[in-house]
Amino acid sequence: MIDTLGFINFLKDHGVDFYCGVPDSLLSPVSAALETMSAQKALSHYVCANEGNAIGLACGHYLGSQTIPCVYMQNSGLGNAVNPLVSLAAPEVYGIPLLMIIGWRGEGKDEPQHVMQGRINEGLLNVLEIPYKILDQDCQDWSVMIADLLSIAKEHEKPVALLVRSNTFSSYKCAQTSEHKPYMSRERAIELVISSVSGEETLVATTGKTSRELYELRKSRNESGASDFLTVGSMGHASQIAAGIAINHSRKNVLCLDGDGACLMHMGGLLVTAPLSNFKHILLNNGVHDSVGGQQTVAGSFDLGPIAKACGYKNVQQVASEEELLKAMENYKNVEGSVFLEIMIKPGSRTDLGRPKESPQINKKRFMMQLSNSQSEG
């Protein structure tokens, strides 16, 4: 494996001391090392809301410093990054040299949401005309490879990329600097939510561990889960999926189980969901990107409620205990208008947390049939 600290120090020695991006499980050692080195004032590091934001931030850094920045992301985030890459950083526009480090999910056997992205990854970089090199644990000449890419970025004034395979970097974990508050777990919060509703609602769960926990809770409770849509990819879009359903089923309450990182990624969507009277936005806030390694988001340090209220949600509340959550869920049965309920939870999940056994296509057909049947009955 490539030594993580050695890798970052090599980049520093070559003038790269500004890092930003969205965390990825394949790059979690790099994120952890960057967080530590940033705390030591050895470099600058910013976790961004989405990958397009990161490209913009990196471009601004270059304009202000004349030094090459580094943007890291999972390959699924390339879609968010395409616009600023081709309309801002490209040589035909402003010609911004920057280095991208991209986690290559879906190269081998992986979850359904990563398969296509993994297959088209190299082709996409070629279409974007971004020079790239593949980095893995067996690379002996990685320093030469990176030096060549940085030279290309400078000479041709354009973005370049490292496409990183799994298990490339040595393990690195941040030291625990503070203890988490005694909040409930995400799984417990989801259990209380589904126990408090009538069963007639439609649920849309965000990608990652939220969908996985909802699925396992349904199985443990001997419930079909046919009214649940498990968003297995497209981070940040669960609320808009739920909104599309709510618009078409205006007499049915639609609950969106969202995460803080996902909500931040496309927060402008709150303006679309807030006017929908049958929309119930349940935000599970643990302050971290839990599904890709537990890297911090900025949501743990401020209250999202005032933002939701300003966007037009009619009923806004934050809860931090089981008693508060149960009371809020009971109250919301009788309120009119959209709901934004922020539940403060602790990071982490069960080590034996499983994944849905059925394919997304099977779940989609079952979900649509359940929606159609409920509409006929209504």
- Among 192, 184, 259, residue whose Cα is nearest residue 221: 192
CA atoms of 298 and 287, how far apart (whole Å): 7
Give the position of tokens 């126990």. 195
CATH 3.40.50.970 spans which residues of the chain?
A: 4-164, 186-377
- Specify the CATH number of the domain 186-377: 3.40.50.970
Looking at domain 4-164, what is its CATH homologous superfamily?
Thiamin diphosphate (ThDP)-binding fold, Pyr/PP domains (3.40.50.970)
Tell me the whole-structure pTM to 2 decimals: 0.88
For 248-310, give the DSSP string.
Answer: H-TTS-EEEEEEHHHHHHTGGGHHHHTT-TTEEEEEEE-SEEGGGT-EE-GGGGS-SHHHHHH
Give the position of tokens 């934004």. 340
First to last CA, the chain: 59
User: What is the residue-level pLDDT of the chain in tens, covering all 378 positions?
Assistant: 999 999 999 999 999 999 999 989 899 999 999 999 999 999 999 999 899 999 999 999 999 999 999 999 999 999 999 999 999 999 999 999 999 999 999 988 888 888 898 899 999 999 999 999 999 999 889 999 999 999 999 999 999 999 999 999 999 987 655 556 789 999 999 999 999 998 899 999 998 889 999 999 999 999 999 999 999 888 889 999 999 999 999 999 999 999 988 898 899 999 999 999 999 999 999 876 766 656 677 666 678 899 999 999 999 999 999 999 999 999 988 899 999 999 999 988 788 888 888 999 999 999 999 998 877 665
Q: Are strands 44-47 and 315-319 parallel, antiparallel or unpaired?
A: unpaired
How far is Cα of residue 67 from the mean position of the Cα atoms in its chain?
28
For 202-248, give the DSSP string.
Answer: EEEE-TTHHHHHHHHHHHHTT---TTEEE--S-TT-HHHHHHHHHHH
**CB distance 244 to 368 below 8 Å:** no
CA atoms of 234 and 112, how far apart (whole Å): 12
**CB distance 277 to 303 below 8 Å:** no
